[in-house]
Amino acid sequence: MTLSKNHTLFVSDVHLSENKPELTALFLKFINEKALFAQELYILGDLFDVWLGDDLIGNFEHEIATALETLANAGVKTYFLAGNRDFFVGEKFLKLAKITALKDPCEISIFGYSLLLTHGDLLCTDDKLYQRYRSFVQNPLSRKIFLRFPIQFRKLIARKLRSRSKQYQQRQPIAKLDVTEEGVQKILAQKQANVIIHGHVHRANTINHNVNGRVITRYVLGTWHHTGSYIVLDTQSVEIKVFQ
Ligand SMILES: [Mn+2]
């Protein structure tokens, strides 16, 4: 049987973790049942719930890398753009998984669409404190320094940051943590894109924006729990789907 590979898939916010074997199983099933039959797979950040350096790659991370490698071996090109949880994913993992890294944001043209891909945290411009934190951790120098800390120290910092951020998020009105019109307008001002795809806010959604008279559709991927969220894009349509 020949299957025509005439569509591309997008996922984000899978939040894989060694402590969530059911989620791992769901994602591996997605690779076998969906991704293997696509032309390409784009992972738009937060594939992992936490990533503190490629030197911590163990059996679990190897299992995921192997699954992703089967895609490359089957001719399905996989791309990865880091999220706020896994921005320390590095060369070693990408090589193991045979994945190509993308910058955030990134513009691509496929199937007649001009797409802007981003994890989505860049668009949450009302959350000034988070944006300051983001530019600090994404700075190549801070990254270098962090990754040289001993493993236990990195784990300690990550735990502290996570609990601080949880408390912080609970105190903020939900709108402040969401994507803003300003963020969308800003990112699109210099771009030709007619479609944005992102995740991060964890609620699947489709929203139209008017940017200087152009209508731009923003597709938001949902997070993975008991079911998965993914987007299928082909020449005809862009569809947000649930995987179970
Ligand atoms: Mn995120």
Per DSSP, the three-state class of 201 is coil
200 is in an annotated binding site: yes
As residues whose CB is below 5 A from the ion ligand 1, the structure lists 46, 83-84, 200
Alpha helix (H) ranges present in the chain? 21-33, 59-73, 91-96, 128-137, 140-148, 151-171, 181-188
* CA 230 distance to own-chain centroid: 11
Per DSSP, the three-state class of 239 is strand
- Residue 33: the pLDDT is 97
Mark the ranges of the chain whose per-residue pLDDT is less than 50: 1-2
- Residue 242: the pLDDT is 98
Q: Which domains does the chain have, with CATH numbers?
A: 8-243 (3.60.21.10)
Instruction: Give the Cα separation of 43 and 181 in Å (integer).
Output: 24
- Residue 2: the pLDDT is 46
15 is in an annotated binding site: yes
In angstroms, what is the span from residue 89 Cα to ligand 1's centroid? 14
Please state whether beta strands 8-11 and 228-233 pair in parallel, antiparallel, or not at all (unpaired).
antiparallel
- Residue 48: the pLDDT is 97
Residue 213 has which token pair? 């008279």
Residue 88 has which token pair? 């320390």
E strand or H helix at 115: strand 113-117
84 is in an annotated binding site: yes
Cα-based distances in Å from 59 to 11, 62, 65, 66, 133: 23, 5, 10, 10, 31
- Residue 4: the pLDDT is 61
167 is in an annotated binding site: no
